[in-house]
Structure formats: C-alpha cells, structure tokens
C-alpha cells in the first residue's frame, strides 16, 4: 500500500518488528515515523484516516520531532494523485450516505453535539483564542497582522457586508461567546439577539455583554435557531452551518428566509469544500465535531434556491483559516505547561493533531471558507462590491474616539 501511495517526497517507517523501510524518491517533503504496535499497523491498513489520528493520540505512532505536520504533508500531497481502488471508492460513497442520514441534528442531538466540543472548558479556549474569543476564521488583510487585528478585521468585513445601522434588529445564529453580537451592539448600535446551544458560551456571553455595557442591547438565549419566530433586519451566522448537517440544509435556509424581513440581509460564514460532496473525516467526527459536516457549494445551492432567497454575493476565503489555525497552534504550544495542569498527554496530542490536521486541509486540500450574502430582494445591497471596502459606516465607538484602532 505504501509503495503505491508515496510517489512524492519521502516517508521512512520503522515497523513494530524493528524493520525500517523508506518510501518515495525525493526528500521534500519528508518524515520519519515509528510504529510500536502490530494492532496499530493493522488499523492503519484497514481504516487509515481514523487510525492515523488514534495511533498518534495513543503514542503507538511516533513521529520524528513530534511533528504531525510533516507526516500529513507527505500523505496529503500523495493522496491527491492516488489511484483510489474501486472498493475504497465504494466505501467512501457508503460512508457519505450513512453519515448524511446518521447525523440527524435534531434539537436534542444538536445540543449534545455542541456540548461535546464547546462545553469542555472556557479556560482551554482562552489559552489560544484572541481576546474576543473568536473561534472561527479570521480575515488577514495583511499576512503579517496579529490574530487580534485579523479577528477585528473579520468582524468589520462582515458588518460592512451587512450594512449595519444603529437600531437595527440583528440575529446571531450560533453566537459563541458573544464577540460578534457585542461588537455589533457596542460599535454599530444594533440590538442583537444571540442564540447558542452551549451553556458555557451562554454564561460567558452574558457576562461579557454586562462588562461591555451592552447588556440592554443584547439578548443571549440558550435556544435552537429552529425555535425562533420573529423577524430581523439582519442575520449573521459564523461557524454554525458546519453543525447543521446535510438533511437539514433546507430547514436552515428556509428558517433564515422566514426570520429575515423583506429588505433584510443575511451573512452566512462557513467552512466549505470546493470538491464534490463526500464523507466527513472519521477522526474529526469521532473526537472533535460529532454531527459536523463541511458542505460543498453543490449541496448548499439547491437549499438556498428552494428557500426563495437571492444569493447577493458569495466570497471564498482561501488561506485565511490556515493562518488562523497556525496562530491558534502557536498559542496552544506556548501555553502547553498550563494545559498539562488540566489535561493528560493523550488529550494534548489529540488537540494538537486536530489543529494541525485542520490547517493542513486548507493548505493542501480544497477546503475554504464561504461567505454567503443572502436577501429577499435583488437590490437589498448596492450593485457593486465597492461598499464593502469604503470608509463608510464607521463604528460608533470609532466616531466617539478618533484615536481608536477602528478609526485608524
């Protein structure tokens, strides 16, 4: 299997019996690994995607320099051109069919899935996120900008697309720890309703809104978006569509259509794939995001069309999330001694593998971020994209303080 797979770069493997073999013909990229367990070797042959992460977590796959990036880069660059056997293609199609319908994110299951990932501990996320706790793709107008500045730029870019004005009623679906909602209320004068299924995030968002002085302009709720029944001038949803699931895309966009008033604008920010629809990575599903799924445009477009909404703009952010994830990994590694006070080595390897595997998919595969701008009317926003980049709609905070970062 390895002889067929490794054509670019070089992979050196030391097997459990002590034998060492080198695969590939060139040394860039390259990696050396050691397998210490026969069972791990069998698992890698039968379910390589799942077993790769599990064997690294368990320590039965040891990577030189403890560098999963090097191993994944070799594997992903070769996987692109791999002649996939017929049985493997059939297995992938079967996995996709099963996953699509097994991930029935009913309100009950959706809450359980969210709790699995987001109710671990806010303290863990504070170690590697920016000060505003934005757990989604930042927007790097300059590759050298800080994570904090890139997250501020992301929120400003989204606000510009939404054309937020004081007094507007805004819905934030999947509001996280409240950063976007607080920004729109404090800096743009909006009245924001934020819904989440995470009790940890809800409590933190409410505390932060109180501290920011916008508790009266924000309404954070522990509520499923499907239970809402009112209209809004604007709807924003950042990093939530990945948790909806294929069977519920129609429900999701129909609900946005129902909740958005006639002249309103919605902005949906989601990880997406430029490949045809396929199964979700097994390891990510099992250990990180149960119920999660990365959509292709070909899956989203029919649901949007049936909802009756206009697609006003679709922007594709390419390497922005890779840069975001690299910032998160660097911060996580810097705080590793603090992490060890609460988590064991297996959890740490799992979390590092998660962050590294994610930025590798943005750097080596066709994974991107979609920003979908939707509305009921074709003229809901200006006819050219110039308004997104004009110095208009300056946040209220910047108007009050000309020395602020937003004003700059």
Of 320, 314, 321, the closest CA to residue 298 belongs to 314
Q: What are the backbone angles phi and psi of residue 17, rounded to the nearest 5°?
A: -85, 5
**Tokens encoding 149:** 């500045």
Strands 232-238 and 218-222: unpaired
Contacts of residue 15, defined as CB under 8 A and 6 or more positions apart, other chains included, come to: 21, 35, 41
Only one residue has tokens 């996987």, namely 79
Contacts of residue 217, defined as CB under 8 A and 6 or more positions apart, other chains included, come to: 185, 186, 189, 190, 191, 192
Ramachandran quadrant class, 144 (left: phi over 0; alpha: psi -120 to 50; beta: rest): alpha
d(CA 399, CA 360): 40
What are the beta bridge partners of residue 170?
Answer: 192, 234
Helices of type H across 294-366: 297-307, 320-334, 336-339, 345-364
Residue 45 catalytic? no
The catalytically annotated residue of 31, 137, 175, 358 is 358
The residues assigned a catalytic role are 358
């Amino acid at each position: 299997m390895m002889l067929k797979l490794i054509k670019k770069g070089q992979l050196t493997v030391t097997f459990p019996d002590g034998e060492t073999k080198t695969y590939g013909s060139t040394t860039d990229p390259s990696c050396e690994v050691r397998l210490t367990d026969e069972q791990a070797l069998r698992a890698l042959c039968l379910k390589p995607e799942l077993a790769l992460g599990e064997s690294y977590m368990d320590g039965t796959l040891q990577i030189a320099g403890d560098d999963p990036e090097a191993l994944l880069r070799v594997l992903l660059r070769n996987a692109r051109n791999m002649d996939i056997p017929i049985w493997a293609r059939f297995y992938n199609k079967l996995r996709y069919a099963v996953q699509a319908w097994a991930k029935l994110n009913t309100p009950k299951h959706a809450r359980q899935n969210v709790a699995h990932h987001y109710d671990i501990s806010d303290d863990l996320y504070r170690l590697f996120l920016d000060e505003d706790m934005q757990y989604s793709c930042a927007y790097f107008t300059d590759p050298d900008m800080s994570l904090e500045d890139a997250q501020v730029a992301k929120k400003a870019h989204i606000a510009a697309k939404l054309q937020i004005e004081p007094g507007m009623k805004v819905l934030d679906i999947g509001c996280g720890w409240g950063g976007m909602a607080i920004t729109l209320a404090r800096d743009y004068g909006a009245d924001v309703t934020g819904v989440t299924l995470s009790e940890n995030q809800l409590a933190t968002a409410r505390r932060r809104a109180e501290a920011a002085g916008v508790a009266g302009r924000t309404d954070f709720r522990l509520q499923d978006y499907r239970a809402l029944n009112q209209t809004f001038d604007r709807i924003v949803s950042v990093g939530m569509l990945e948790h909806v699931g294929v069977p519920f895309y129609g429900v999701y966009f129909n609900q946005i259509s129902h909740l958005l008033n006639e002249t309103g604008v919605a902005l949906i920010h989601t990880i997406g794939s430029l490949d045809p629809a396929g199964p979700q990575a097994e390891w990510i599903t099992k250990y990180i995001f149960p119920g999660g799924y990365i959509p292709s445009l070909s899956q989203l477009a029919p649901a949007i069309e049936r909802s009756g909404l206009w697609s006003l703009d679709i922007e594709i952010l390419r390497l922005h999330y890779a840069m975001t994830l690299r910032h998160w990994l660097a911060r996580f590694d810097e705080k590793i001694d603090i992490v060890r006070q609460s988590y064991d080595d297996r959890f740490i390897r799992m979390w590092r593998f998660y962050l590294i595997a994610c930025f590798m998919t943005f750097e080596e595969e066709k994974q991107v971020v979609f920003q979908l701008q939707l509305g009921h009317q074709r003229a809901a926003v200006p006819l050219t994209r110039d308004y997104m980049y004009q110095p208009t709609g300056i946040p209220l905070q910047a108007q009050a303080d000309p020395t602020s970062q937003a004003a700059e």
